[in-house]
């Protein structure tokens, strides 16, 4: 079997047959994985906290959505008439590139995901 074996935090291993950089994004400690950062393009600001992100999203017309049924999520919606909803983990330490790309897709030309440079 050719490919790359990934050792998960819970001790389980899995084989990635044709590894690409994107295939490692699920496991931040995987070889070849690079940390990423969300960037607000109009000011070239890197987003390092939810307070930074909330400020920028509010400027773009998003508002906090308080959902008592999902206490582990921080959510933003565009308007009461819109189906657009951004759902993020309550803890910023769990904010992954998957969440960043969701923000980019829903706010084209305002956000970008970049690899952190050493």
Q: For every one of its 118 residues, what pLDDT tens digit does the chain have, with 9 covering 90 and above?
A: 566 666 665 666 666 676 665 555 554 445 556 789 999 999 999 999 999 999 999 999 999 988 778 888 999 998 777 788 999 999 999 999 899 999 999 998 999 999 887 6
pLDDT of residue 83: 80
Question: Is residue 117 a contact partner of residue 37, using CB atoms and an 8 Å limit?
Answer: no
* Alpha carbons 45 and 62: distance in angstroms, whole number: 18
Pairing of strands 73-77, 85-89: antiparallel
pLDDT of residue 68: 72
> Phi and psi (nearest 5°) for 116?
-70, 135
* Alpha carbons 53 and 81: distance in angstroms, whole number: 22
Is the C-alpha dihedral spanning 14, 28, 33, 114 positive or negative? positive
């Amino acid at each position: 079997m050719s490919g790359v074996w990934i050792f998960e935090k819970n001790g389980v291993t899995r084989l990635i047959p044709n590894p690409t950089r994107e295939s490692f994004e699920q496991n931040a400690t995987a070889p070849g994985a690079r940390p990423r950062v969300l960037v607000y393009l109009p000011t070239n600001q890197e987003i390092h906290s939810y307070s930074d992100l909330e400020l920028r999203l509010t400027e773009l017309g998003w508002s906090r959505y308080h959902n008592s049924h999902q206490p582990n999520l921080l959510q933003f919606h565009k308007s009461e008439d819109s189906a657009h909803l951004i759902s993020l983990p309550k803890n910023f330490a769990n904010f992954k590139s998957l969440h960043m790309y969701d923000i980019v897709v829903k706010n084209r030309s305002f956000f970008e995901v970049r690899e952190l440079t050493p």
